[in-house]
């Protein structure tokens, strides 16, 4: 049973595959910019992610394993990423 969630809603230990980067509401300059920066950091469709660590306050920020590297970001930014969890990955 796989389902698609926002990365910002993921909990420690969740793993899945990125299915969408960016909110696709491209009227806002900073949304476009954020999407490109996420992509440049390797957060691209098809990348395997696992949520490794959460911060103490509000479980924020989060540390992820993205393919074979580790990346930290805030849940605020993670909200523009969708991942599919519970699949074969």
Binding site for other proteins (CB under 8 A): 21-22, 32-42, 44-46, 52-58, 60-61, 63, 67-74, 76-77
Q: How far is the CB of 1 from other proteins (least distance, A)?
A: 28
- Which token pair is 76? 């605020």
| Cα 86 from Cα 89, distance rounded (Å) | 7
**Helix or strand or coil: residue 32?**
helix
Least gap, CB of 32 to other proteins (angstroms): 7
What's the distance, Cα to Cα, between the start and end of the chain in Å?
Answer: 12
> With respect to other proteins, which residue has the nearer C-beta, 10 or 38?
38
């Amino acid at each position: 049973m796989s389902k698609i969630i926002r990365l910002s809603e993921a909990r420690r230990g969740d793993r899945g595959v990125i299915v969408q980067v960016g909110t696709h509401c491209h009227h806002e300059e900073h949304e476009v910019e954020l999407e490109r920066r996420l992509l440049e950091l390797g957060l691209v469709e098809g990348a395997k992610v696992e949520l490794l660590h959460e911060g103490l306050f509000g479980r924020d920020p989060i540390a992820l394993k993205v393919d074979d590297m580790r990346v930290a970001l805030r849940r605020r930014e993670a909200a523009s990423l969708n991942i599919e969890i519970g699949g074969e990955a």
